[in-house]
A and B are shown apart, each in its own frame.
Chain A
Amino acid sequence: MDYILTTNELTKTYGKYNAANEVSIHVERGGIYGLIGRNGAGKTTLMKMIGGLSRPTRGSFEIHGRNGETTKQMMPKVGILIEAPGLYPNMTAMQNLTTKAIALGINDKKYLKGLLEEVGLSNTGKKKAKQFSLGMKQRLGIAMALVNKPELLILDEPINGLDPQGIAEMRSILHHLCYDKGITILISSHILDELAKVATQYGIIHEGRLLEEETKEELFSKCCERLELKTNDISRTLEVLNMMGFSKMEVKDDSINIYERLNEGGAITIALAKENIQTNEIAVKTDALEDYYFQLTGGNKNV
Chain B
Amino acid sequence: MFNLIKMNLYRMRHAVSTWVIAIVTIVFAFMQFGSLKLLLDDPFHMFDAGEGAEMLGFSTVGGEHIITTLLHNSNILIIAAVFVVLFANAEHKSGFDKNLIGITNHKWKHALARWISAVIGMTCILAIGFVVLFGLCALFMNSFSFGSAAAMLKSAGFLYLGMVTFSAIFFFFTTLFKSSAGGIVASLVISLGILNLIEQLLDLAVNKIFSHPAYVPSDFFFDNAYMTFDASGAGMKAGLVFVAICLVYLALSVGGSMLLQQKRDVR
Instruction: Give bound CA distance, A73 to B106, whole Å.
Output: 11
Interface residues in B93-128 (C-beta closer than 8 Å to A): 94-105
Instruction: Give bound CA distance, A78 to B102, whole Å.
Output: 9
| Contact of A88 with B98 in the complex, beta carbons under 8 Å | no
A20 within 8 A of B: no
B14 within 8 A of A: yes
| Contact of B105 with A75 in the complex, beta carbons under 8 Å | yes
Interface residues in B5-21 (C-beta closer than 8 Å to A): 6-7, 10-11, 14-16
| Contact of B266 with A54 in the complex, beta carbons under 8 Å | yes
Quick one: closest B residue to A150, CB to CB?
A: B103
A98 within 8 A of B: yes
A145 within 8 A of B: yes
Quick one: closest A residue to B113, CB to CB?
A: A103
| Contact of A90 with B14 in the complex, beta carbons under 8 Å | yes
Quick one: closest A residue to B16, CB to CB?
A: A90
Residues of B within 8 A of A104 (CB): 3, 100
| Contact of B14 with A86 in the complex, beta carbons under 8 Å | no
Interface residues in A177-193 (C-beta closer than 8 Å to B): none
Chain B nearest CB, measured from A156 CB (Å): 10
**What are the interface flags for A154-186 relative to B under an 8 Å C-beta threshold, 1 for contact and 0 otherwise?**
000000000000000000000000000000000
Residues of A within 8 A of B151 (CB): none
| Contact of A103 with B100 in the complex, beta carbons under 8 Å | yes
B245 within 8 A of A: no
Interface segment, one of A26-34, A45-53, A205-213, A233-241:
A45-53
B90 within 8 A of A: yes
| Contact of A148 with B103 in the complex, beta carbons under 8 Å | yes
Quick one: closest A residue to B6, CB to CB?
A: A102
B4 within 8 A of A: yes
| Contact of A55 with B7 in the complex, beta carbons under 8 Å | no
| Contact of B95 with A72 in the complex, beta carbons under 8 Å | no
B48 within 8 A of A: no
A84 within 8 A of B: yes
Instruction: Give bound CA distance, A90 to B103, whole Å.
Output: 24
Q: Tell me which of B6, B96, B103, B266 contacts A78 (CB under 8 A).
A: B103
| Contact of A100 with B102 in the complex, beta carbons under 8 Å | no
Residues of A within 8 A of B101 (CB): 52-53
Contact A54/B4 with A86-B99, A88-B90, A90-B14 known, Cβ cut-off 8 Å: no
Residues of A within 8 A of B95 (CB): 83-87
| Contact of A88 with B4 in the complex, beta carbons under 8 Å | no
Residues of A within 8 A of B266 (CB): 48, 53-54
Instruction: Give bound CA distance, A170 to B4, whole Å.
Output: 31
Interface residues in A69-113 (C-beta closer than 8 Å to B): 72-73, 75-76, 78, 80, 82-91, 95, 98-100, 102-105
Chain B nearest CB, measured from A141 CB (Å): 9
| Contact of B14 with A88 in the complex, beta carbons under 8 Å | yes
Residues of A within 8 A of B90 (CB): 88
Classify the secondary structure of A's interface with B.
loop
Residues of B within 8 A of A53 (CB): 98, 101-102, 265-266
**What are the interface flags for A23-67 relative to B under an 8 Å C-beta threshold, 1 for contact and 0 otherwise?**
000000000000000000000000010011111000000000000
Instruction: Give bound CA distance, A80 to B7, whole Å.
Output: 19
Quick one: closest B residue to A79, CB to CB?
A: B103
| Contact of B103 with A76 in the complex, beta carbons under 8 Å | yes
Contact A105/B3 with A54-B265, A88-B94, A89-B94 known, Cβ cut-off 8 Å: yes
**What are the interface flags for B213-247 relative to A under an 8 Å C-beta threshold, 1 for contact and 0 otherwise?**
00000000000000000000000000000000000
Residues of A within 8 A of B265 (CB): 48, 53-55
Quick one: closest A residue to B9, CB to CB?
A: A102
Instruction: Give bound CA distance, A103 to B2, whole Å.
Output: 8
A144 within 8 A of B: yes
Chain B nearest CB, measured from A77 CB (Å): 8
Instruction: Give bound CA distance, A298 to B88, whole Å.
Output: 46
Quick one: closest A residue to B267, CB to CB?
A: A53
Instruction: Give bound CA distance, A104 to B102, whole Å.
Output: 13
Residues of B within 8 A of A73 (CB): 105
Residues of A within 8 A of B98 (CB): 51, 53, 80, 82-83, 86
Instruction: Give bound CA distance, A95 to B14, whole Å.
Output: 9
Q: Tell me which of B10, B94, B102 contacts A51 (CB under 8 A).
A: B102
Which residue numbers of A lie inside 8 Å of B, CB to CB?
Answer: 48, 51-55, 72-73, 75-76, 78, 80, 82-91, 95, 98-100, 102-105, 144-145, 148
CB-defined A-B contacts under 8 Å, sample of 21: A55-B265, A76-B103, A82-B98, A86-B95, A86-B97, A86-B98, A86-B99, A87-B94, A87-B96, A88-B11, A88-B14, A90-B16, A95-B14, A99-B7, A99-B11, A99-B96, A103-B3, A103-B4, A104-B3, A104-B100, A145-B99
Which residue numbers of B lie inside 8 Å of A, CB to CB?
Answer: 3-4, 6-7, 10-11, 14-16, 90, 94-105, 265-266
Q: Which 5 A-B pairs have the closest CB atoms?
A: A52-B102, A86-B95, A103-B7, A54-B265, A53-B266
Q: A78-B103, A87-B94, A103-B100 are in contact. List 20 more A-B contacts (CB 8 A).
A: A48-B265, A48-B266, A51-B98, A52-B103, A53-B102, A53-B266, A54-B266, A80-B102, A80-B103, A86-B97, A86-B99, A87-B95, A88-B90, A90-B14, A91-B11, A102-B6, A102-B7, A102-B10, A103-B4, A144-B99
